[in-house]
Structure 1
Amino acid sequence: MFPGRRGIGAMVLSAVLFGAGCAEPAPEPPPEPVRPQWQRLALPAPAGTPGRPMLRDVTGCAGRWYAVGGVGGAGGETRPAAWTSTDGVTWAAMRLEPKGYYGRRSVLYSAACRDGRVAILGDKPGGAHGNPRASSWRQLPDGSLVEVEARFELYGGPTAVNVARLVAGPRGYLIAGNRSSGVASWVSADAGEFEIMEGVPELVTDGRGTTWGFDAVATAQGWLMVGGILPPGGRIDRDPLGWTSPDGRTWQRDPVPATEAYEELQRVVVLAGTPVAVGLRGKEFGVWRRGPQGWESAGAFGTHGSAGAPAVGALAVTGDGLLAAVSDGTSYSLWSGADEGRAWRPVTGPVPMPAGADRDVSVFAVADQVLLAVDDGREAALWSSRLIPGT
Structure 2
Amino acid sequence: MRPPARFVATALAALLLVVAACEAEAPPPTPPQPVSPQWKPVTLPVPPGPAGRVLARDITRCGQAWYVGGAVQSPDGATRPALWSTTDPAGLTGWAARPVDTVGDYYAIRSVLYALGCRDGLVGAIGAKSGGAHGNPRVRTFWSRADGTLVAVPSTDFELYGGARQVSVNRIAGGGPGGWLIAGNRAGGATVWTSPDATKFTIHEDLPPLASSPDLATSSLDTTVTAAGWLVAGGGRPAGRIDRDPYVWTSVDARSWTRVPLPGTADDEEAQRLARTADGIVAVGLAGTAFGAWHGDANGGGWSAVTRFGATGSGAVAGVETVAVLDDRLVAATVGADGHRLWTSDLSGKEWRSLTTPVQVGPGGATAAAVGGGGGTLLLAVDDGTTSTIWSSRLPPS
TM-score (norm. length: structure 2): 0.91
Partner of residue 149 from structure 1, selected from 127, 141, 154: 154
Bigger mean CA deviation after superposition, 133-142 or 327-336: 327-336
Matches within 5 A, 1:97-246: 97-99=101-103, 100-150=105-155, 151-171=157-177, 172-233=179-240, 235-246=241-252
Segments of 5+ residues of structure 2 without an aligned counterpart are 1-12
1:21 deviation in Å?
Answer: 4.1
SS at match of 1:16: helix
Q: 2:176, 2:247 → 1: CA distance?
A: 24
Residues 28-86 of structure 1 show CA distances to partners (whole Å, capped at 9, x for unaligned) of 11111111111111111101000010010001221011101001113321111110111
Q: Name the Cα RMSD after superposition.
A: 1.9
Partner of residue 340 from structure 1, selected from 321, 325, 348: 348
Q: 2:183, 2:38 → 1: CA distance?
A: 34
The 8 Å contact of residues 59 and 66 in structure 1, kept in 2 or not, is answered as yes
Residues 234-283 of structure 1 show CA distances to partners (whole Å, capped at 9, x for unaligned) of x1110111100112222110121221101000111112141111111111
Q: 2:390, 2:225 → 1: CA distance?
A: 26
Structure 1: which amino acid aligns with 2:145? L
Q: 1:273, 1:30 → 2: CA distance?
A: 26
Q: 2:347, 2:63 → 1: CA distance?
A: 27
SS at match of 1:187: strand
The 1:115–1:129 alpha-carbon spacing in structure 2 relative to 1, beyond 3 Å, is: same
SS at match of 1:152: coil
The 1:354–1:15 alpha-carbon spacing in structure 2 relative to 1, beyond 3 Å, is: farther
Q: 2:14, 2:389 → 1: CA distance?
A: 53
Structure 1: which amino acid aligns with 2:44? L
SS at match of 2:22: coil
1:300 aligns with 2:301: no
Q: 2:336, 2:23 → 1: CA distance?
A: 33
The 1:37–1:18 alpha-carbon spacing in structure 2 relative to 1, beyond 3 Å, is: same
1:353 deviation in Å?
Answer: 2.1
The 8 Å contact of residues 263 and 306 in structure 2, kept in 1 or not, is answered as no
1:270 aligns with 2:276: yes
Structure 2: which amino acid aligns with 1:380? S
Q: 1:261, 1:162 → 2: CA distance?
A: 24
The 8 Å contact of residues 286 and 301 in structure 1, kept in 2 or not, is answered as yes
The 8 Å contact of residues 62 and 115 in structure 1, kept in 2 or not, is answered as yes
Cross-structure match for 1:6: none
Cross-structure match for 1:9: none
Cross-structure match for 2:320: 312
Residues 284-305 of structure 1 show CA distances to partners (whole Å, capped at 9, x for unaligned) of 1111011486222241110111
Cross-structure match for 2:264: 258
SS at match of 1:285: strand
SS at match of 1:354: coil
Bigger mean CA deviation after superposition, 73-82 or 345-354: 73-82
Residues 96-140 of structure 1 show CA distances to partners (whole Å, capped at 9, x for unaligned) of 111311111110100011211101000000000000000000111
Segments of 5+ residues of structure 1 without an aligned counterpart are 1-12
Structure 1: which amino acid aligns with 2:184? G
The 8 Å contact of residues 176 and 225 in structure 1, kept in 2 or not, is answered as yes
The 8 Å contact of residues 279 and 347 in structure 2, kept in 1 or not, is answered as no
Q: 1:327, 1:314 → 2: CA distance?
A: 10
1:248 aligns with 2:249: no
The 1:153–1:386 alpha-carbon spacing in structure 2 relative to 1, beyond 3 Å, is: same
1:18 deviation in Å?
Answer: 5.0
Q: 2:226, 2:247 → 1: CA distance?
A: 17
Q: 2:118, 2:227 → 1: CA distance?
A: 17
Residues 169-214 of structure 1 show CA distances to partners (whole Å, capped at 9, x for unaligned) of 2432110000000000011121111111111110111122100111
Partner of residue 91 from structure 1, selected from 87, 95, 105: 95
Cross-structure match for 1:42: 43
1:20 deviation in Å?
Answer: 6.2
Cross-structure match for 2:372: 364
Cross-structure match for 1:387: 395
Q: 2:132, 2:256 → 1: CA distance?
A: 33
The 1:126–1:339 alpha-carbon spacing in structure 2 relative to 1, beyond 3 Å, is: closer
